Amino acid sequence: MNIFSLPAAIAFTLNFSIAMLVLLDRPGEPLNRWFSGFVFMFVIWNLAEIILLNSIHYEKALLGAQILYRALFLTPPIFLIIARMFPRPGKHHQFKPWAQILILALPIAILASSFPDFNIYPVPLSNYPNIYYYRIKITSGLSVLLLVILSLIYITWGTYLLIRKLNKARTNKERTRIKFLLGGILTIFLGYIIINLFPPQGARIFSFYFFSTLLTLFISLFFFAAIMQYKLFRLSRLVSGSLTYTILSSIVLAIYFLVIKGLSESVRNLFHINSFLFDALLILILIMLIRPLEVRIEKLIDRLLYKNIYRYRKNFLMFSRTLLKYFSTDKLFHEVSVFLKENFFVDMVLIYYYNEDQDTYRLWNPQDDNRIISFSAQDYLPEYLTRHRTAIEFYDMNHHKFTGDQHRFLTDLHITLILPLFYEKELVSFILLPEKNNKKSFPQEEIEILTIFSNEVANALVRNRTIEKIRDEEQEHSRMERLAAIGQLTAGVAHEIRNPLNTISTSAETLLHKKLEPEDEEQLKDFILEETKRLNHILTDFLKLSKIRHVQVQAVELNDFVREISYEVSQRLDPQTAFRTENLIQNQNVVMDKELMYQVILNLIINALDAIRARRKEESGYRGTLLFRIEENKKAIRFMVIDDGIPVPPENRERIFNPFFTTKRDGTGLGLAISNNLIKNMGGSLFLEVQGGLKKFIVESPVPQA
């Protein structure tokens, strides 16, 4: 393999890889198939050059020239077909199948009719008699003339189609792609014509091969840039560095071939060794020596090409942890907007969310009322996102299906990328991203990262909305419970007040309308005064229930507290009831609100004494016992009031702490409710335990010891 064929070998490997990538990525797309065929024509061109430049025998060189001749005249019809469907491979953008067959069949038929005389001959270099180069000699032959005319028609026609599309392009990105394809193809054809006009004599023969191989390498780089930089094709399976690796591999393989061939010839001439095994051993040694260098180069390319990707992944991982927290919808959208602006260099992020009541997608946090555009769930954009379920470039959508206002809105804001947020099959939101600050589009690797990002945001959005819904339901349930409690409380107050008012009203009417004896008149006045006091007592207890002062804790000596309780009980205790106290606390000093605790304990003891008296009325010979005990466990201090008075029926045990629930004829039903509120206000709890014939009202106070 001589040095002239090195660029052709590199171009062959690279173009073949590009053709297969484009074809295998989306074999069902007509544009992919035809573009792959177009690149494959240049693969044949590269192969013909390699054969020509490494042929010792004239017959092999002639074969290479004939291969090149066929590829040369089959390239223009494929270019015309691509120009017709580029940049959109829709049905109305391409020739009918019969037209495509006819366009391609014409040059094939002319080539077949002119076989085997192709008017192309390999001519040997004067300085290198074993190396050939080719030139096309245009003669007056009808077949050559027809092929040249047909090729010029196809190239001119394709150029005309691209220029027309350039004037009708909807976006800057579309215009850039058309300009790149048009400029690149015309440069290739023009460059080939200019190079072949060089005279093939003398020293200019070397110049011819220099420019010829340079054109070969330019073609490869053109296709490389077409996919990598200008995104003529968005290959979903293409990694950003894969084509770069292909270029390096092509260069390394070509160098391997040249080195091995040179070493083999040197060893063969020096030691007269001509062995296939020797060549294989040289290949193995070179691979072992150069492989570490190749690995280092790949890592270097990774750092250069993927430095932004590594940064995105790191920041995205941190943001994913942030998404695990609960945010309100507004806060979540704000965090998403800030993250996208900082990491993807956009000035604006438009987030649309689904409004179920109106069946529309509305803009979150609009800044300019004049630019607000809503999308119905049946509009083209939501329908398109639902059908494709992935990040979409605005350029790839059919702009004719947008309404005028929607299309104007999206184009005025230079929207480039649309991220759908799906939860299961539901499009819950979508994000519109404009072009970047540097006017560049989003590369494929960023689109893939943003697709994963949108899934994470969708899950967080639905999860947070579920939490909000549960909270709203809990708040509504709590509100209904409060309303029910207020209704019950109001009914109890009304019931308790109505009876004294009826007594007062009846007594007052009797005093006004009847003439009574002085004794009866005094009795009615006593009724009015007694019921008035009762009303005042009810209202006082009611105010105690609704207005509880703040807890005021202090260090309390328990023995003094027990003595005060005992003294108060002794003033109310009858001789038949046995009362005793037990203080089981080791540390006698505790921290609590002494006044509130005193009020609660005393209220419980008064209730216990009432229960003992009620049982004594029902059972003759019953005396009654009452115990006040203080003990502790690991969590709280327990104040217990234990009595054996009349029991609480099981059906009433959960109702005794409700306001206005009472079994006493003259009770208000507020005592236990007030006590329960006081204990809750102190951070404790009040509950009832029943063991045999004993009732235990237990106050647990989680107050730390002083």
pLDDT in tens, 359-368: 899 888 776 5
- Tell me the residue length of the chain: 706
Answer whether 702's CB lies under 8 Å from 680's CB: no
Mean pLDDT of 309-317: 72
Q: How far apart are CA 90 and CA 155, in angstroms?
A: 22
pLDDT at 153: 93
**Domain end (from 422, 451, 468):** 468
Do 259 and 231 fall within a single domain? Answer: no
Q: Residues 463, 593: one domain? A: no
* Domain limits for position 569: 554-701
By mean pLDDT, which of 277-291, 411-425, 636-650 is the weakest? 277-291
At 202 the pLDDT is: 42
Q: Is-contact 433 418, C-beta < 8 A?
A: yes
Amino acid at 467: I
Same domain, 40 and 19: yes
Q: Take residue 274 and report the two structure tokens written for it.
A: 């001509």
Verify that 427 and 298 share a domain, yes or no. Answer: no
pLDDT at residue 668 greater than cutoff 60:
no
pLDDT at 233: 61
Same domain, yes or no: 345 and 411: yes
For residues 250 and 350, state if they share a domain. Answer: no
Same domain, 273 and 328: no
Residue 533 lies in a domain: no
Q: Tokens 């804790």 identify what position?
A: 553
Assess whether 340 and 402 both reside in one domain.
yes
Contact criterion met (CB below 8 Å) for 639 and 678:
no
Average pLDDT, stretch 184-202? 71
Residue 580 sits in the same domain as residue 611 = yes
- Domain membership of residue 181 (yes or no) is yes
Instruction: Indicate the pLDDT class of residue 641, thresholds 50, 70 and 90.
Output: very high
- Do residues 208 and 245 both lie within one domain? no
- 79: CB partners within 8 A, 6+ apart: 38, 154, 155, 158, 185
Give the pLDDT of residue 643.
93
Do 254 and 226 reside in the same domain of the chain? Answer: no
Phi, psi of 481 (to 5 degrees): -65, -40
Predicted pLDDT at 443: 73
